[in-house]
Amino acid sequence: MGSLGELEYPVNDSLSNMGSNTNPLDPEEFRRQGHMVIDFIADYYKNIEKHPVLSQVEPGYLKKRLPTSAPYYPESIETILSDVQEHIVPGITHWQSPNYFAYFPSSGSIAGFLGEMLATGFNVVGFNWMSSPAATELESIVMDWLGQMLRLPKSFLFSGNGGGVLQGTTCEAILCTLVAARDRTLKNIGNDKIGKLVVYCSDQTHCAFKKAAQIAGIHPNNFRVIPTTLSSSFSMSPEALRKTIMADVDAGFVPIYLLATVGTTSTTAVDPLGPLCDVAKDYGMWVHVDAAYAGSICICPEFRHFIDGIEGASSFSFNAHKWFFTTLDCCCLWVKDPAALTKSLSTDPEYLKNKASESKQVVDYKDWQLALSRRFRSLKLWLVLRSYGVERLRGFLRSHVKMAKQFQAFVLADHRFEVVVPRNFATVCFRISPSALLATRNANKGPHHAVLSEIINISNDNNIGTTTRISTPPPPPPLKMVSVNDLNQKLMDSINGSGRAYLTHSVVDGIFLLRFAVGASLTEESHVVQAWNVVKEHADTMLSRYTSQSHF
């Protein structure tokens, strides 16, 4: 690679390695380089625990390491892989690390990886059936397979006049279904009434919905957010939804779309699908169920009840690239009425006309999504389903839940910590408890102790938004005020800064909580034990500083 700041590239660095063949897709050269890349990735997985989970680089680090322009002459794969190791790997947050417990998992697998390789190798652009029949037909088959595994109503399957499609992400799935719901309503009331359309969600709904509403032309003032509470585990209230809809209808607005969630991002809360769908049905609304994270686990019979009531919904989606061992990107979307999608999203230019499409006997997936071009995503999902089977996939998922239960048990056994909300799946929401800070304060009787400000800020049915404060004489000299939220923020930053584990957070009802999401494919029980030890060590240090009257 060229020197920093100057364009001093080696001349013909790789020509001798590549031989005289200059074809960029020479089979034998592909074989040679491909083996090297596979070995590189295998070694990366083997040694992944040697890297800090959260990248420790500073913003702009890479610009200081790479040349200011592309090389004029070819460079060898050996040189490039060396630079990947030296310059790229340090800037990666290692989502496949067994010590990765942040956000939600992006679980991989050998089958998912090799399926991606096959799809990339074929490099088809499967916008319609004719452009690659196998890509279209395999997708339809795989989506029915997966729908059967989830025990979705037949009305969501191709075998029951519904159907499934692989989108890139949930963001796309939400936007496509919202546009379909919008157009279905405007067809009846007139396009000039778009300013009257209203959509609904809870305050725990993913931010992707708000973006989708903006893109779809829903007026910002017509985006209704139903508040949730800790006492209801942040689940959307059907009663509050109905009350809000009734007020909108009385004011002349038109309700069109409800987004319900199974496994919210902050706390994995679950909305009551049956009662919510009943409310929406009374007003002719489209109901989309976003199970991006938790949908995977519903292939296990003991978790299927979380999507009870799905028969009343219009569409359902989950991300196979989150917790189903299928590499990014792969969002599975089912709809009861495919025609609603195609009426809004179809295009029919002359250069795409063909006898197969005109026969109406095939699926043209370009009309089920935003973009025209599309990848052969079904291939990797097919490999995952075939390589592991339903039984092993259930086993993988159950093992993650078991490990999450183990971590939860550690939290509950330590009086300094508390579980903030009930655990539904494989994510534990916890924090250092206010009582731990209070006990630490009481143990410190010196005149220069730190003042504990907001001990707790919780909501319940009878006492919403109450803040309890400890009244103490101001100590001389005044020290920095410390809140339970501040302390938990500092705890998380300290853990992540160590590189030994990576956790993320959320704030719900004024509570800053840490999220411990088990789901990385390489994670084993020993990693959960190690992660808890890291949490304890950093908590010990922080609480001891508080006891010794140190500033945070």
What CATH number did the domain enclosing 442 receive?
3.90.1150.10
> Are 542 and 483 in a shared domain?
yes
Residue 123 backbone zone (phi > 0: left; psi -120 to 50: alpha; other: beta): left
Q: Is residue 49 part of a domain?
A: no
Residues of the chain with pLDDT under 50: 2-9, 11, 13-16, 19, 445-481, 550-552
Q: Which of the listed residues 376, 405, 425 is the one where a domain comes to its end?
A: 376
> Are 351 and 392 in a shared domain?
no
> Are 368 and 415 in a shared domain?
no
Structural domain range at position 485: 388-548
> Are 201 and 227 in a shared domain?
yes
> Are 192 and 275 in a shared domain?
yes
Closest to 542 measured CA to CA, from 432, 389, 400, 392: 432
> Are 502 and 441 in a shared domain?
yes
Q: How far apart are the C-alpha atoms of 49 and 306, rounded to whole Å?
A: 34
> Are 339 and 190 in a shared domain?
yes
**Per-residue pLDDT at 482:** 65
> Are 346 and 477 in a shared domain?
no
Query: pTM of whole model > 0.85?
Result: yes
Closest to 374 measured CA to CA, from 165, 106, 121: 165
**Per-residue pLDDT at 20:** 53
What pLDDT, in 10s, does the model give residues 250-273?
Answer: 999 999 999 999 999 999 999 999
Which runs of consecutive H residues, i.e. helices, occur in 190-271?
A: 208-215, 238-250
Q: How far apart are the C-alpha atoms of 207 and 216, rounded to whole Å?
A: 15
Q: Which of the listed residues 376, 401, 418 is the one where a domain comes to its end?
A: 376
Q: Domains in the chain: how many in total? A: 2
Q: What letter would DSSP give residue 451? A: P
**Per-residue pLDDT at 461:** 37
Q: How far apart are the C-alpha atoms of 518 and 527, rounded to whole Å?
A: 10
Q: Is residue 11 part of a domain?
A: no
At residue 262, φ and ψ (nearest 5 deg) are -115, 100
> Are 215 and 355 in a shared domain?
yes
With contact defined as beta carbons under 8 Å apart, do 293 and 234 qualify?
no
> Are 392 and 460 in a shared domain?
yes
Q: Is residue 92 part of a domain?
A: no
**Per-residue pLDDT at 437:** 78
Which runs of consecutive H residues, i.e. helices, occur in 265-354?
A: 273-281, 320-323, 338-345
